[in-house]
Amino acid sequence: MRLPALTNRNNVLVAALLLAAGLIVGGYLLGDGLRRARMADRSVTMRGLAERDVTADLATWSLNFTASGTDLGEVQAKIDRDQRIIQDFFRAAGFPAGALTDGGGSINTIYDNDRQANVVTINRTLDFRTNDVMRAQRAYLRQFDLIRGGVQLDGSGMNYRFTRLNEIKPEMIGASIQDARRGAERFAQDSGASVGAIRSATQGYFSIGARDGDADTDGGGSGTATPLQKVRVVTTIDFYLG
């Protein structure tokens, strides 16, 4: 007849143990949640820089030249002569004929009161394009040979471009993230914390310019006056701190 009483005491004991275990687990989860919440509020933002020296792989040059006079035939003959001089110049520099293409032209006629005659002006453009950038640079440095030959060149210079940016982007982004993490680790060490996972990240834009000590860029970030260039990217990373 005492067995029911013993069973009731056992049930009460089991229930008490389960309640205690539940309180312990609940307290742990609550404490862990509060700890995680505090950790979420602790972070540090760092900027990581990655740079790489590259050599341009494309050179372009628009050669604009002009001739004018009162006799259309003589002006046209002068333009044709200048075109042959330019073609011979690049041929002597070791470039194939296909490196030069016709960029078009224009003709204008204005009456000159002083001469009492119509003055005809013909403008022509030849576009130069090559992947042999170092040879192109050497040719460009000798452009005054064209001027001494009587070619009236106008304006623009050689433009050098690095076209393989997509090939080096992933590695440079990784390098900029590592640079940011090193900065965060130095900060954390001084403050007695540890660096955790990335909370957020913002990738800056890639820029291509001249290397230090070389000619300035053209200002647009897409080309430069020298084939010796530098690619830069800055990434902003927000790291958790433990």
Structure confidence by residue, pLDDT tens digits, 46-98:
999 999 999 999 999 999 999 999 999 999 999 999 999 999 999 999 999 99
Encode pLDDT of 139-188 as tens digits. Answer: 999 999 999 999 989 867 899 999 999 999 999 999 999 999 999 999 88
Please tell me the total number of residues recorded for the chain in this structure: 242
Encode pLDDT of 3-29 as tens digits. Answer: 455 555 655 555 555 555 555 544 444
Residue with tokens 């110049």: 89
| SS3 state at 221 | coil
DSSP code of residue 151: -
Binned at pLDDT 50, 70 and 90, residue 221 comes out as very low
Pairwise CA distance, residues 152 & 24, whole Å: 91
Q: Please tell me the class of the 43-55+164-241 domain.
A: alpha beta
Instruction: Domain 58-161: give its CATH architecture.
Output: 2-Layer Sandwich (3.30)
Residue-averaged pLDDT of the chain: 84
Residue (of 78, 82, 219, 64) closest to 128 by Cα position: 64
CA 120 to chain CA centroid, Å, is 45
Q: Do the bridges between strand 153-154 and strand 100-112 make them parallel or antiparallel, or are there none, so unpaired?
A: unpaired
Q: What is the DSSP string of 156-172?
A: ---EEE---HHHHHHHH
Residue (of 186, 177, 185) closest to 233 by Cα position: 177
What are the residue ranges spanned by the domains of the chain?
A: 1-41, 43-55+164-241, 58-161
| SS3 state at 143 | coil
Q: 160 and 220 in contact (C-beta within 8 Å)?
A: no
